[in-house]
Chain A
Amino acid sequence: MNARTDFAAVGQGAPRRALSRIDPALVSIVLAAAILWFAPVGMGRYGTYVLTLWLVMAIAVMGLNLTLGVAGLKSLAQAAFMGIGAYTVGILTAKAGMSWYPAFAIATLATFAMGIVVGFPALRVRAHYLAFVTLAFTSLVWLVLRNEEWLTGGTFGLSNIPRPTLFGARLDDALSFHRFVVVVTMILTLAIWWLLRSPWGRAFLALRENPVRAASLGVDVRAYTLLAFAIGSAYGGMAGALYAPLVEFIDPSPFAISASFFLLLMVVAGGSGYLFGPFVGALLGVVLPEWLRFTGGLYLIIFAAIVLLLLIACPKGVLGLAEMLWARAARLVRRTP
């Protein structure tokens, strides 16, 4: 190595910021998990189910939020990855009798690997083409799920998907499975939080904001693009792996193209790029319909209209809107003596 301009030499200096203060996001995650642990008490079976479904969808949205919101890659494949995760677990547990845990691990690895494969076109084509490539992928996966009856049960789907066991106890009732999902969601949220604070998080952000400049600073655009895509896809797979035992019966319909659109809208509705955006987005997409059940089949229109109006008013979603209002309120408070 020739003598470099030894200016930015690394590894010296006191660990000044090593003992940083406790992150409020970290506290929020743990606190929210504690609240959700007890939340379903008195809610009944169905209420608990909706709450669990919210968390499961939030995991899928969290993955897409990483791919799209943080790294800026337009993917319409998240529903397909969710489907792959759900069917992997469904087939391995219901048909092959495997325990949930290894099935979950296989689903995660499989969707991670497929994420890398599907992410490759992202490197070759201009940004908006990726949306169409992933759209094509979602259609292909859906075709396989619908047509390969010997494996997936076709349109009849897969039924009797068992729930996981924990220390020998089966998590069959709604509440104990809910608590299981709460813990998994907490771990996955912590992982994203941790990832976003690492140099990788910074590189993903640079990728979204200005890939050309990022490359000129040594950021390997190819590697980080694939990683953002693969990690996001793996979150989709993990969400699917929880979805299958939650609903205990899966068929291809929830993993079609429109579901991918729907997941994308949830990312944006909650606040693209925000750590907690996916939870708000999934709340709008999963729990809101329950409140809107009196409208019959209209809830999808209402949800889409809300997102459309939200986008026109504030493209940064609910959390972006909240941030804006908060800043405005703070300014107002400062001005009034």
Chain B
Amino acid sequence: MSVPEATSHGYAGAFRVIPAPASWDVTPNLTDYGATRASFTWEAARAGLEGLPGGGLNIAHEALDRHVAAGRGAHVAIRWLARAGDRRDFTYAELSEQANRFANVLANLGVQRGQRVFSLAGRIPELYVAALGTWKYGAVFSPLFSAFGPEPIKQRLAIGDGRVLVTTSALYARKVAGIRAELAGLAHVLVVARDGEEIPAGTLGLDGLLRAASDRFATAATMPADEATIHFTSGTTGKPKGAVHVHEAVVAHHITGSYALDLRPDDIFWCTADPGWVTGTSYGIISPLTHGLTSIVDEAEFDAEHWYQVLDRERVTVWYTAPTAIRMLMRAGADLARSYNLSSLRFAGSVGEPLNPEAVVWGTEALGLPFHDNWWQTETGGIVIANFRAVDIRPGSMGLPLPGFEVGIVDHREDGGVSVIDRPDVDGELAIRPGWPSMFRGYLGDEERYRKAFANGWYLTGDLARRDGDGYYWFVGRADDVIKSSGHLIGPFEVESALLEHVAVAEAGVIGKPDAIAGNIVKAFVSLKPGFEESDALRRELLGHARQRLGAAVAPKEIAFLPALPRTRSGKIMRRLLRAWELGLPEGDLSTLESS
């Protein structure tokens, strides 16, 4: 179905609608949006998976063993492209055996079902084996981004009560060894050591443990509501939030992969996200494997030419990437893209932050396909709103709700509740009716925050958006002070806390400063304690201090001094005012500002 091009309310964007193709070489999984949405049920979606006897459900069974039992064990599940240039294929049968070995390693170590297994590693095969083996065992998997510094790592391991950590010997030495003593609950650290690297004291070599373990394991009889995965995300205040996801989430990972990414078993799929973030797990591990396809895992960091080589040489058919990378590719120019053979590409998707309309359109020039933006977040576990292959694209819009999701725009009332805004083109908070299988089931150890995320039967996303007259959703901004940088959420409090640990810092306020490539970059404002003078040397020292504690992914990119930071009468630092100053915007209502 095509959505009408313009109505009285309808499309007001500056970019022309990109119509869905009139005919197909490969028919999309979702061809009639309206009819599919009308007839959709989660029960029917669940029937697309196998399940375990007795009503059980386990992510690893759906991702691996189901395909092996169906005779597709020899199909390549993961094609790993090592940074050094070599590549290694893992078939479904091999990956299943490796996951079995990992599950047996957990058993041999005395790990209990339901305990938490963390990972801190780049995109190496062992990370995928650990995730799948953990689910198979019935333990809970929690990935950490390898560019985190020691402080974010320590906090997350503590909040998640991590029992096992899978990492590399290099990352262990650099980021974990120094905080190990503060993590009493962390019983086992399993390290991957490469080319003659030593196994650090206090850790066990994963390779040897895997070799010694049996390659047979009977998948734990997990139930749909059993805890499976913890993904950490950030709020405006307080500690990072550990969003709890359950095995049943796999139903959403599978069906959204089918509708929003058009995945099918003969695809070569490349999700460029790191599994340290939710996209790299939901769509970098689970969804591609439940579809039985071949997934590309590229260990190297972003590089324009290398990325086009991967798309070309591996004959990638579906590509799921992020705005920051797309904007970097745009800098390299459409000519570079056109010098490669990208003819196997059928679909290109983007997620992480709103994709600017120029970038959507640039896709048609450079790849012959528009980028299809979609929207979701850690708490939703999977894609909620998307631009589909078979539906017209309004560049700059996040698209239409997926089948199975009731989405609305709500307004906050004086009494603390919310009311639905029915009229189109009105800004409000984006909200979703609870009940989808990949919905988060709690924030670890923070019942209160979880409760506050719901009102009047809606889950409140914290994103501001509006819906146009034809039902397309448009991102407006964040409802809070959380910073979206390169598609990752960064909590200002976490950054401020690290800066306040420095002896010279009296106050710190952290904001997102708009950036043409990253969307936003983290910028910190600090005031100094008496006896300290502003200087470039001190600015650099603070920058280095923050980078050492937080890592490149979280640390500020810019630090500026202020004599004092603006505060409300209740003493809270007014990040919004800092942002207004930075952007040269009107300062708005300052009635609660402390008069100084």
The answer to whether A and B belong to the same complex is no
